[in-house]
Structure 1
Amino acid sequence: MKNFACSNCGNTVYFENVKCVKCDSTLGFDSDEQSIVAIADSGTSKAAPEIPIFRKLNPGPSDVLLRYCANAEFGVCNWLTPAGESNVFCKACDLNRIIPNLSERGSLLAWRAIEHAKKRLVYSLLRFGLPFDGSASTKGPLTFDFVRNALTGHLDGVVTIDVSEADSVERERQRQQFDEPYRSLLGHLRHESGHYYWMVLVEEGGRLEEFRTVFGDERDDYDAALARHHSNGPAADWHERHVSAYASAHPWEDWAETWAHYLHMVDALDTAAAEGMEGHGLRLDLRDDIYSSVTFEALMARWIPLTIALNSLSRSMGQDDFYPFVIPEAAYDKLEFVHRVIHELAEHSTATAAPHTDKTLNLTP
């Protein structure tokens, strides 16, 4: 993720900040500009006086009125949305279908953690220029259900996340139970989004035969494959062909694990470039946009030295490796396939977010 700065004073701020600690400006994330902006109170709307509206302190060509996403009142969202639209949710929260039951103890804290991770996923989708509103798919929009005692997974565009995954103790218990080197909320969200984009980029993108050549035949019985994996463990040679043990369970899971791994790589490299970090003498060109203008070969040439450097730093602090993976040669082709299909669609896609078309409310101050 790139660095963000307060648009009023230039102070470095985080993606989740709602207040600048230097100039005390109110902040929000503008998903159209993909930047954190400083905003000033501009009163309330005539149609909905309970909704505060804002103007940017340093507006660009378009000085539009803004308001926070409706979920800001719960402390789970700092994204902004145009004040003149009837949809009260931002582009990211508008994808939610079910949120945790906030009357249950701990649910609000869990939702905050989930939303912070999901915002980073949606940010990456915006940077890639990928559609998540269903405009490029007959399957419908990418949708999220956050519920307790559910099976984390994906079905026809709906990503379900068990709220317990926001509990670090429970998540670590499951990581050890399944003998995983890595487990995180963001990893889950990236993985499950991969199943959605398999439908959009592969199935509906006319790439099934190419996919089968690289990943295998997804027509193999999925339920039987998962049952076999959970009963017998991963294939003995999984480390020679896959980015993770679970990826060996079925071609769909291989794609989703590879997809998540690719998103990890790109976002980490983007952050490293923004911070001026270098691995083993490799100089990162800050003029390159890791999300759009870097070839797969250049991306991998940057990734390996960076992971070595970060693992060395982690070991210096007595911690486990930052990057506990080794990418086998066969998985390079799979990562390159993900890279290619993302960029080929993004180059031709202008539908990067769900449109807000109903503008019936008059929110003029």
Structure 2
Amino acid sequence: MKAFTCQKCGNRLYFENSACVSCGTRLAYSREEREIVPVSPEGSYVGSDGSVRWVCTNTLVTGCNWLARREGGVCFACELTGAHPDDTAPASVRQQYSYAEQAKRHLLVELDALGLVVRTKREDPAEGLIFDLLASDGIATTPDVVIGHNRGVITIDLAESDDAYREHVRATLAEPYRTMLGHFRHEVGHYFEWQLVRGSEVMERCTEVFGDESVPYEQALKRHYSEGPPKGWEHHYISTYATMHPFEDFAETWAHFLHIHDTLGSAASHGLAAPVPTDKAFSEVVTDVWVPLSAALNVINRSMGHDDLYPFVIPPAVLDKLDFVASLVQDSTTP
């Protein structure tokens, strides 16, 4: 995430700010300009091209601070939301909904920064993207929510926004890391595999790197939860979940590509690291820049009594997988 400053007074801003705590200026995020911009007290903003934008109508519903194309309308990020809790949902669910929307906005900023094309289902019913944000655990109308992706429809369990619930699941599954943003990054990995791994040459290379995707998914799922990861998995995979099926290996690798890309960009924007070199393979960036930086950040986290920021070891086989994912992104954005 880039460093933002108030265009009125120069105060440092967070991406989630809807007002400057220094000068009180009302703020909103302009996706077209990729900046946090000052808006009028009524919530309007005149862009550099002369067009007028308005603060998203969901600002009071989810805390959205993005600009919409019309007064009383929703922004692009909110257009990507399908099913979601309504005003009759318990306050706890509505709060979880707000947290999920915040994570989704963060994801979209990174996808935009990478140059990846994101289309809504309204724009492209067949291959566009939409997020169903549903609540589970008997606290809403949907008792069982399965996080997943199916042809552009990503389902997220809002219960994962609850720290206690998420930590319980993480500990139960013996996972080193589990966050709401991580779920969004993983599931959008399934979507972009569907979008970008096309054509015989790319598909053959993907199979070579991640394995045979024709293995029945349900069969792999049952094996994973009954037998666990194979012996020596840590030499070939980024996580135990990645061992379940090539689809999951790809999505886990995609998520880590986004983890690393975004954190390195944030570190550079805030003066903690040099800008990420563009003339190196992504695997080189990981070994030369990310590994030492993440090790230092792990120590800093421990100094505050927290768990490691990045509790993963990246073996050479995963470096190859990260390079493949990076090449897909590069090829999709090259004119």
- Same fold by TM-score greater than 0.5: yes
The residue aligned with 1:223 is 218
The residue aligned with 2:175 is 180
Matched, 1:80 2:67: yes
Rounded Cα–Cα distance in structure 2 between residues aligned with 1:27 and 1:204 = 44
Cα 1:339–1:250 shift into 2, 3 Å:
same
Q: Report 1:152-167 matches (<5 A).
A: 152-167=147-162
How many residues are paired up? 324
The residue aligned with 2:118 is 132
- Preserved contact between residue 146 and residue 160 of structure 1 (Cα < 8 Å): yes
The residue aligned with 1:343 is 330
The residue aligned with 1:24 is 24
- Preserved contact between residue 53 and residue 83 of structure 1 (Cα < 8 Å): no
2:50 pairs with 57, 63, 69, which one? 63
Q: Deviations over 1:261-297 (max 9, x none)?
A: 110000000010011114xxxxx14xx5x7x776414
Cα 1:137–1:201 shift into 2, 3 Å:
farther
1:91 pairs with 53, 76, 79, which one? 76
Deviates further, 253-262 or 68-77: 68-77
Cα 1:293–1:28 shift into 2, 3 Å:
farther
Offset, 1:327: 0.5
Matched, 1:117 2:112: no
Rounded Cα–Cα distance in structure 2 between residues aligned with 1:36 and 1:95 = 20
Residue 38 of structure 2 aligns to a residue in which SS?
strand
Offset, 1:204: 6.0
2:44 pairs with 49, 54, 57, which one? 54
Offset, 1:70: 2.0
1:236 pairs with 207, 231, 239, which one? 231
- Preserved contact between residue 117 and residue 186 of structure 1 (Cα < 8 Å): yes
Offset, 1:341: 0.6
Cα 1:39–1:205 shift into 2, 3 Å:
farther
* TM-score of the aligned structures, taking structure 1 as reference length: 0.84
Residue 8 of structure 1 aligns to a residue in which SS?
coil
Rounded Cα–Cα distance in structure 1 between residues aligned with 2:74 and 2:281 = 35
Rounded Cα–Cα distance in structure 1 between residues aligned with 2:108 and 2:326 = 17
Residue 159 of structure 1 aligns to a residue in which SS?
strand
Offset, 1:134: 6.4
Rounded Cα–Cα distance in structure 2 between residues aligned with 1:55 and 1:187 = 32
Rounded Cα–Cα distance in structure 2 between residues aligned with 1:132 and 1:203 = 17
- Preserved contact between residue 63 and residue 98 of structure 2 (Cα < 8 Å): yes
Rounded Cα–Cα distance in structure 2 between residues aligned with 1:293 and 1:101 = 48
Rounded Cα–Cα distance in structure 2 between residues aligned with 1:347 and 1:108 = 40
Offset, 1:63: 3.0
The residue aligned with 2:134 is 147
Q: Report 1:193-204 matches (<5 A).
A: 193-203=188-198
- Preserved contact between residue 281 and residue 323 of structure 2 (Cα < 8 Å): no
Q: Which has the higher helix share?
A: 2
The residue aligned with 1:277 is 272
What root-mean-square deviation, in Å, do the aligned CA atoms of Structure 1 and Structure 2 show?
2.1
Cα 1:138–1:26 shift into 2, 3 Å:
closer
The runs of 5 or more residues in structure 1 that have no matched partner are 42-51, 279-283, 349-365
1:299 pairs with 278, 282, 285, which one? 285
Q: Deviations over 1:174-232 (max 9, x none)?
A: 00111100000000000000000001111368611010000001111111001110111
Rounded Cα–Cα distance in structure 2 between residues aligned with 1:206 and 1:83 = 43
- Preserved contact between residue 28 and residue 79 of structure 1 (Cα < 8 Å): yes
Q: Deviations over 1:81-114 (max 9, x none)?
A: 2337xx9221111111111243221121001100
Rounded Cα–Cα distance in structure 2 between residues aligned with 1:137 and 1:200 = 13
The residue aligned with 1:351 is none
Rounded Cα–Cα distance in structure 1 between residues aligned with 2:111 and 2:201 = 21
The residue aligned with 2:139 is none
* TM-score of the aligned structures, taking structure 2 as reference length: 0.91
Rounded Cα–Cα distance in structure 2 between residues aligned with 1:89 and 1:137 = 18
Rounded Cα–Cα distance in structure 2 between residues aligned with 1:308 and 1:129 = 29
Cα 1:173–1:159 shift into 2, 3 Å:
same
- Preserved contact between residue 100 and residue 163 of structure 1 (Cα < 8 Å): no
Q: Deviations over 1:15-72 (max 9, x none)?
A: 010000111110000001111001114xxxxxxxxxx55135xx63x23222111211
Cα 1:89–1:242 shift into 2, 3 Å:
same
Offset, 1:139: 4.2
Q: Deviations over 1:213-256 (max 9, x none)?
A: 00001111111001110111112221110110100000000000
